[in-house]
Amino acid sequence: MPVGYSIYVDRPSYIHHRLDPRTKLAALGAAFVLALAFNHPAVLGGLVVLVLVAGRVAQVGWRSMAPFLAGSVWFIILGVLIWPLYVRSGAPLYAIAGQTITVDGLLFGLAMGLRVALMVTAAGVWMMTTSPQKLTVGLLHLGLPYKAGVAMTAAIRFVPLLNAERATIAEAQQARALDLRKGSPLSRAVKSVAIIGPLFIRAIDVAQGLAVAMDARGFGVRDGRTSIVELRLTGVDRMVMLALLAASLLGIALRLLGIGLISRDYL
């Protein structure tokens, strides 16, 4: 697999090199639990800001986070456009094509967009601050079979690799006069086959190359696996994990009490 194609961004920060990958995995799980526990935009927005602050503390630049932020903005827009058509509770604001848009509907749509944004940004910060090698060792310490751990980290590495391949194929096709910016949506979808086809073949080729390389190194010959990377939970890791567990339990308790919710009728 070519060197340099990785979502991981190496920085000299405490989060990168001092926090155990199991702690960061627990933080990702806590972010998902809290995202599902609340549906109020103020709470979810605050959690998104907290994740972005954690990314900045880890010295991850805005440019590195830009793809995740762009995806988050897109989900927020979709939430605001779609959910008000289904949530009818609350004070009415205006009507569109016979559909009454309410305050609660808009707030709930914003909350659903922020919920997905929280998950996306949390996953992005997690991948950019956790080395794939350390992640594999951390998963092994959690009891995951090492073949499954390697498969998971390889899949994470494939995402930026295939994105780079897509960009290369798109530029090559544009040099051959393929213009995906013009025409109807159907015609552009037909033209995209010129990119999807070579990308699919390239993905199979890279997967086969990876399999041959792993077989040549005796992958799977032994039941166990050794590693030069050593992990050890520190006192700080244990404190962070306890805080994450407490935050998750508090979020679930508040959900059951109806605090931090726009509506109990929806997730």
Report the pLDDT value the prediction gives residue 188, as an integer from 0 to 100: 76
- The 10s digit of each residue's pLDDT in 4-14 is 456 788 889 99
Would the pTM count as exceeding 0.85? no
- The 10s digit of each residue's pLDDT in 39-98 is 999 999 999 999 999 999 999 988 888 889 998 999 999 999 988 888 888 788 877 777
Q: pLDDT-based confidence at 224, cuts 50/70/90? A: low
What number of CA atoms fall less than 13 Å from residue 116's CA on the CB side?
17
DSSP 99: E
Q: Which two tokens stand for residue 18?
A: 């001092």
Rounded Cα distance, 17 and 8, in Å? 12
- The 10s digit of each residue's pLDDT in 177-203 is 877 777 777 777 787 888 888 888 888
Q: Which two tokens stand for residue 160?
A: 């930026």
DSSP 84: G
- Whether the pLDDT of residue 143 is over 90: the answer is no
- The 10s digit of each residue's pLDDT in 116-136 is 999 999 999 998 998 888 888
* Residue 158 near residue 132, CB atoms below 8 Å: no
- Whether the pLDDT of residue 238 is over 60: the answer is yes
From the list 204, 224, 201, 54, the residue with the least C-alpha distance to 130 is: 54
Rounded Cα distance, 8 and 152, in Å? 14
Q: pLDDT-based confidence at 105, cuts 50/70/90? A: confident
Report the pLDDT value the prediction gives residue 149, as an integer from 0 to 100: 74
Q: pLDDT-based confidence at 150, cuts 50/70/90? A: confident
